[in-house]
């Protein structure tokens, strides 16, 4: 049984009043109507032995990653944090340092993003450490704010871009230290007319599939353009093909993948207004397949799926 | 190390802008300002072996209890559900029935309270089953709605009342089947001027202490008036003293404990407008101690603490 199958099943059970829940499960955040305001909501957990190793990475890294994953989901909608909550289940052997370390990890990232940590629950049990975070967001900007960016807005002919460089994030410690791309996302949505966006948690291959499925389109990736992280290249001693596979499949990069009109993408890639590099890596196509195009003209369907926990 | 100590420590770390977070951690819900609207937020978890036994109670009961605990926190503020999210960590041995059972438990209670389940996360791991829920609420009523009821509004001379009857909830299966007192709480706040409220999760003794501490007052409980649940009496073959101890210390009743002006309490106890019985069990005093008064005139400080997980 795979998580994605279960999540699909759950999404199919949902039947929301669009006036109360304009966007339900299946995007990076849900959108809930509260009076005249729109509330964004996302939730994610970090489990010892699955997403992190407590004994190796330490308590503060657990707290930080749990919060960062959620704030990255707000970034994917080009929204800003409003508040967050966390529940922590601690092994009975845990001492006060462990509990405080987790809290400090959560809290420091919250402070960095002006996101008050307004509630939580702590319980001791016979299981391993688990931290579950829920983050709330609001529209960016004043007087109504800008529309949240969904996965579903990509249109044929749009350029496909990515922030930063990809691959080997969980083989190194980058999955612990990434910074959610919130100001970057807001700038992209406000100034460059980004139409569809997702954060790269499961990997470029899988997350592009999600974005295309939500938009009812396909994509063509330019293999030579995909920005490969130097960590990936170093791990395979410069073997570009192997490193490219990591960039497409590894996941946990927490960079932004987004579609926008191609003339705006050109302007964006020329201006490079963000603290992180933006690269055009392909384009959106009407044909629903996802193709990887090599410099020699060959192209093949992208069958590699990104990182996903399986039973 | 006790949970309450840790939670106290966390509350002391918090320093919120009251314009953004009018109520931070330490009440049943936090209150967050979103534009012109107030958002209520609460989070709580259910862990296999701590709050429930999966092998005995079944998957649906786990999901139901996780959602019910959170909705009960919304009730304690006299607010109504807006939406909820859940994260589930499943043992690797879990099959699809287990996952669907948990979802169904969450979902059925959500449907009953018109609370859309808008997001979630599922992961498999080597630990036991854990379900963490975050519920958010809004003010009850239209055109601005009624003020959320905090723990801190009790005043000297107020009557102290409770819904339902208490004791032995976790010794029987009542902690699995309770229904969050949301409509009851809204009626109490709208019609009977309730000033302070809390839901009885840790037990009358502990939760009364929380309410009094938040309000800066004390209380005098009338031992003979405390409504003892028939389950508690049956378990101790009618030994009233032993059953009273259960009513004060057991916890997990998820009834409402509240303070209100005594003339309104009289009217409430006479009218009995709720589907559940309301009983006056004492009064709020200026002296900060909490006393249990017996019918023979004796009184003693209430030192029994309610149910609390310890290391």
Put simply, the answer to whether B125 touches A128 (Cβ < 8 Å) is yes
Nearest CA in chain A to B15: A116
Query: How close, in Å, is residue A51 to chain B by CA atoms?
Result: 10
Q: What is the pLDDT of residue A251?
A: 93
DSSP A101: H
Residues 98-157 in B contacting A (C-alpha not used; CB under 8 Å): 99-100, 103, 107, 116-128, 130, 132, 134, 136, 138
Residues of B in contact with A30 (CB under 8 A): 83, 85, 118-119
Question: Distance between CA B95 and CA B80 in Å, rounded?
Answer: 34
Q: What is the pLDDT of residue A306?
A: 40
Residue carrying the six token digits 């890294």 = A61
ipTM: 0.92
* B6, pLDDT greater than 80: no
Residues of B in contact with A65 (CB under 8 A): none
Q: Are A83 and B32 in contact (CB under 8 A)?
A: yes
Q: Are B93 and A15 in contact (CB under 8 A)?
A: no
Burial class (CB in 10 A: 0-12, 13-18, 19+), A240: middle
In tens, the pLDDT along B161-170 reads 999 999 999 9
Question: Distance between CA A276 and CA A286 in Å, rounded?
Answer: 30
Question: Distance between CA B122 and CA B119 in Å, rounded?
Answer: 10
Query: What six digits make up the tokens of A87?
Result: 């529940």
Q: What is the pLDDT of residue A136?
A: 98
Residues of B in contact with A125 (CB under 8 A): 47-50, 128, 130
In tens, the pLDDT along A141-162 reads 877 789 999 999 999 999 999 9
Query: What six digits make up the tokens of A220?
Result: 């063509």
* Residues contacting residue B169 through CB under 8 Å, at least 6 positions apart: B175, B178, B229, B231, B250, B251, B252, B253, B254
Query: How close, in Å, is residue B183 to chain A by CA atoms?
Result: 20
Question: Distance between CA B187 and CA B275 in Å, rounded?
Answer: 11
Residues of A in contact with B1 (CB under 8 A): 94-96, 99
Put simply, the answer to whether B83 touches A32 (Cβ < 8 Å) is yes
* Residues contacting residue A145 through CB under 8 Å, at least 6 positions apart: A138, A139
For A43, the closest of B7, B130, B134 (CB atoms) is B134
Residues of A in contact with B20 (CB under 8 A): 83, 116
Instruction: List the single best residue of B11, B110, B121 to mutate versus A (max A Cβ within 10 A).
Output: B121
- The span from the first CA to the last CA of chain A, in angstroms, equals 6
Q: What is the pLDDT of residue B308?
A: 39
Q: Are A126 and A70 in contact (CB under 8 A)?
A: no
Q: What is the pLDDT of residue A79?
A: 97
Q: Does A4 touch chain B (CB under 8 A)?
A: no
Alpha-carbon torsion (B70, B74, B80, B83), positive or negative? negative
* pTM for the predicted model, two decimal places: 0.94
Alpha-carbon torsion (A113, A116, A120, A126), positive or negative? positive
Put simply, the answer to whether A127 touches B132 (Cβ < 8 Å) is no
Q: Does A271 touch chain B (CB under 8 A)?
A: no
Question: Distance between CA A84 and CA B93 in Å, rounded?
Answer: 31
* Residues contacting residue A147 through CB under 8 Å, at least 6 positions apart: A139, A189
Residues 10-39 in B contacting A (C-alpha not used; CB under 8 Å): 10, 13-14, 16-17, 20-21, 24-25, 29-30, 32, 34-37, 39
Residues of A in contact with B108 (CB under 8 A): none
* B310, pLDDT greater than 60: no
Q: How does residue B7 score in pLDDT terms, banded at 50, 70 and 90?
A: confident
Query: How close, in Å, is residue A167 to chain B by CA atoms?
Result: 22
Q: Are B69 and B154 in contact (CB under 8 A)?
A: no
Put simply, the answer to whether A123 touches B3 (Cβ < 8 Å) is yes
Put simply, the answer to whether B43 touches A82 (Cβ < 8 Å) is no
Pairing of strands A159-163, A218-222: unpaired
In tens, the pLDDT along B238-274 reads 999 999 999 999 999 999 999 999 999 999 999 999 9
Q: Does A77 touch chain B (CB under 8 A)?
A: no
Question: Distance between CA B229 and CA B244 in Å, rounded?
Answer: 9
Put simply, the answer to whether A36 touches B36 (Cβ < 8 Å) is yes
Query: How close, in Å, is residue B292 to chain A by CA atoms?
Result: 30
In Å, what is the CA distance from B239 to each residue of A286, B203, B251, B264? 76, 19, 19, 33
Give the helix/strand (H/E) hosting A140. none
Residue carrying the six token digits 């009977």 = B192
C-alpha angle A95-B47-B185 in degrees, rounded to nearest 5: 110
Instruction: List the single best residue of A20, A127, A140, A144 to mutate versus B (max B Cβ within 10 A).
Output: A127
Of A150, A182, A176, A163, the C-alpha closest to A82 is A182
Q: Does A50 touch chain B (CB under 8 A)?
A: yes
Q: Does B221 touch chain A (CB under 8 A)?
A: no
In tens, the pLDDT along B282-309 reads 999 999 999 999 999 999 998 755 433 3
The residue ranges of chain A whose pLDDT is under 50 are 306-311
Q: What is the pLDDT of residue B233?
A: 96
Quick count: other Cβ atoms within 10 Å of Cβ B120? 27
CA A247 to chain centre: 15
Sheet containing strand B196-199, edge to edge, reads B196-199, B256-260, B159-163, B278-285, B218-222, B290-293, B299-301
Query: How close, in Å, is residue B249 to chain A by CA atoms?
Result: 19
Burial class (CB in 10 A: 0-12, 13-18, 19+), A225: middle
Give the helix/strand (H/E) hosting B15. none
Put simply, the answer to whether B128 touches A123 (Cβ < 8 Å) is no
Put simply, the answer to whether A25 touches B120 (Cβ < 8 Å) is yes
Q: What is the pLDDT of residue A305?
A: 52
Q: What is the pLDDT of residue B304?
A: 52
Q: How does residue B11 score in pLDDT terms, banded at 50, 70 and 90?
A: confident
Put simply, the answer to whether A30 touches B119 (Cβ < 8 Å) is yes
Alpha-carbon torsion (B176, B275, B194, B224), positive or negative? negative
Put simply, the answer to whether A125 touches B125 (Cβ < 8 Å) is no
């Amino acid at each position: 049984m795979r998580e994605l199958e279960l999540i699909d099943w759950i999404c199919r059970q949902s039947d929301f009043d669009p006036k109360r829940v304009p966007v339900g499960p299946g995007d990076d955040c849900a959108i809930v109507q509260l009076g005249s305001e729109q509330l964004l909501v996302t939730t994610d957990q970090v489990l010892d032995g699955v997403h992190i190793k407590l004994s190796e990475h330490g308590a503060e890294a657990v707290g930080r990653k749990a919060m960062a994953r959620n704030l990255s989901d707000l970034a994917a909608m080009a929204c800003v944090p409003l508040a967050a909550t966390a529940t922590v289940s601690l092994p009975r052997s845990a001492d006060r340092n462990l509990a405080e370390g987790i809290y400090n990890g959560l809290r420091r990232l919250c402070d960095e993003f002006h996101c008050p940590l307004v509630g939580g629950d702590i319980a001791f049990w016979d299981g391993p450490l688990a931290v579950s975070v829920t983050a709330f967001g609001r529209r960016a900007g004043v007087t109504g704010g800008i529309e949240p960016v969904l996965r579903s807005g990509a249109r044929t002919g749009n350029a496909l871009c990515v922030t930063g460089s990809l691959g080997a994030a969980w083989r190194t410690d980058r999955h612990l230290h990434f910074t959610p791309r919130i100001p970057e996302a807001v700038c992209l949505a406000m100034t460059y007319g980004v139409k569809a966006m997702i954060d790269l948690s499961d990997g470029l291959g899988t997350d592009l599939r999600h974005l295309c499925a939500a938009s009812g389109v396909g994509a063509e990736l330019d293999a030579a353009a995909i920005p490969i992280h130097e960590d990936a290249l170093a791990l395979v001693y410069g073997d570009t093909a192997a490193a490219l596979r990591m960039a497409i499949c590894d996941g946990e990069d927490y960079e932004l993948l987004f579609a926008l009109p191609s003339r705006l993408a050109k302007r964006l890639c020329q201006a490079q207004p963000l603290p992180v590099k933006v690269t055009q890596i392909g384009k959106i196509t009407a044909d629903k397949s996802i193709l990887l195009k090599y410099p020699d003209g060959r192209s093949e369907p992208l069958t590699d799926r990104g990182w996903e926990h399986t039973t």
